[in-house]
Amino acid sequence: MSNDIRNYSIKELIERKKKRRAKVSFVESLAPKLLALCAIISVLTTLGILVTLLKETATFFSKVSVVEFLTSHKWFPFASGPYAEFGIWPLVLSTLKVTMISMFIAIPVGLSCAIYLSEYASVQTRKVIKPILEVLAGVPTIVFGFFALTFVTPLLKMFIPSLSLFNALSPGIVVGVMIIPMIASLSEDAMKAVPESIREGAFAIGSTRFEAAIKVVLPAASSGIIASFVLGISRALGETMIVTIAGGARPIASLNVTESIQTMTAYIVQVSQGDAGYGTTVYYSIYAVGMALFIFTLLMNLFAQYISRRLRRNQHDS
C-alpha cells in the first residue's frame, strides 16, 4: 500500500512538473511575439506621426512659398491677407537661444554632479543626492515656468535692469536646471559602467583621483555621456510650458537674450489654443513648424551617433 502511495506521489510530481514546463514553454513562445508587437507599434506610431506631419506640411506649402518660409526673417502669421509673413527664422533663433543657454547651465553642472557621484561620493552621500535629483526631475514643467517668471526674472532684473519681463535668459536658465538631473543620472550610469580595473590601472601609474576621472573614466564613458547631452538638447528643443510662460510671444530674429521671444513650441501652443480656425493657413503653419522641429532633432541625433561612432573607433584603435 505504501509503495502504491509513493508511486502515485511521484507520478503526481512528474505531472506537475510537466504542466509547469508547459506553462513556461507557452510564456517563452508568447514573449517574443509580444515584444515584436511592441516594436511594431513603436515603428507604426513614428510612421503615423511622420505621415501626418508630411501631409499637413504639404498643404501649408501649397499656400506659402518654401523660399519665404526658409529665408524670410519676419514671422507675422496673424496679419491679414497679403501682409502675413511666414519666415521661420525668428522662431528658430528663439528656440536656439533658449537651448544654448540651457546647455551652458546643464552640461557643466550635470557632468560635474555625475563625476562627483561616480568617483567621489560615498554610498551614504549618493543615497541622499540621487533622490534629490530624482525629485527635481519630477517637478512639472509648468511649475518651472512660473518659477522662471516670478522668481528668476525679478532676480536677474536686479543685475540686468534692461531685462524685459518676458525674455530668453530666464527660461533658458530654468530649462537648464530642469535638464541637470537627466544629464547627471545618465552620465553617472555611463561612468559607473566603466570597469574598475581601468581606474586601478590609472591609480597604479600615479594618477590622482581627479586625473583618473577626467583623463581615463570620462573618455571611456564618452558615448554614454554624449547620449545624455543629446537627450538633454532634445528636451530643451521640445520644451513648451517654460518658454510659453516666461519667454513671451514675440518672434524676433535677434540674438539679444533680454528681449521677449517666441519659440517653435510656444507658437504651436498659441495656435492650438484656438487663435486660428481649422483649415486656415495659420492652422497648417503649426505642422510646418513641427516638421522643422522634427528635422532639427533628427539631424542632431544623427550627428550625435556619428560622434559616438568616431569616439568608439578612436578608442578601439588606441
Q: Where are the domains of the chain?
A: 2-61, 75-317
* Radius of gyration of the chain from its Cα atoms, rounded to whole angstroms: 27
Give the Cα separation of 281 and 285 in Å (integer): 6
The stretches in the chain having pLDDT less than 50 are: 1-7
pLDDT digits (tens, 9 = 90+) for 287-318: 888 898 888 888 887 877 777 777 666 665 55
- With the C-alpha atoms ordered 74, 77, 79, 82, is the resulting torsion angle positive or negative? positive
Locus of grid cell 569616439: 311
The packing angle between helices 169-192 and 222-237, to 10°, is 150
Give the Cα separation of 210 and 227 in Å (integer): 23
pLDDT digits (tens, 9 = 90+) for 91-127: 999 999 999 999 999 999 999 999 998 888 888 888 8
Ordered alpha helix ranges (H), 116-251: 123-137, 141-147, 153-159, 169-192, 196-204, 209-212, 218-220, 222-237, 241-246
3-class DSSP state of 154: helix
The conformation of residue 271, written as its DSSP 8-state character, comes to: I
Thinking of the domain 75-317, which architecture would CATH place it in? Orthogonal Bundle (1.10)
3-class DSSP state of 75: strand
The pLDDT value recorded for residue 29 is: 72
Q: Please give the helix or strand (H or E) that residue 55 lies within, else none.
A: helix 2-61
Amino acid identity, position 282: V
Q: Please give the helix or strand (H or E) that residue 267 lies within, else none.
A: helix 264-270
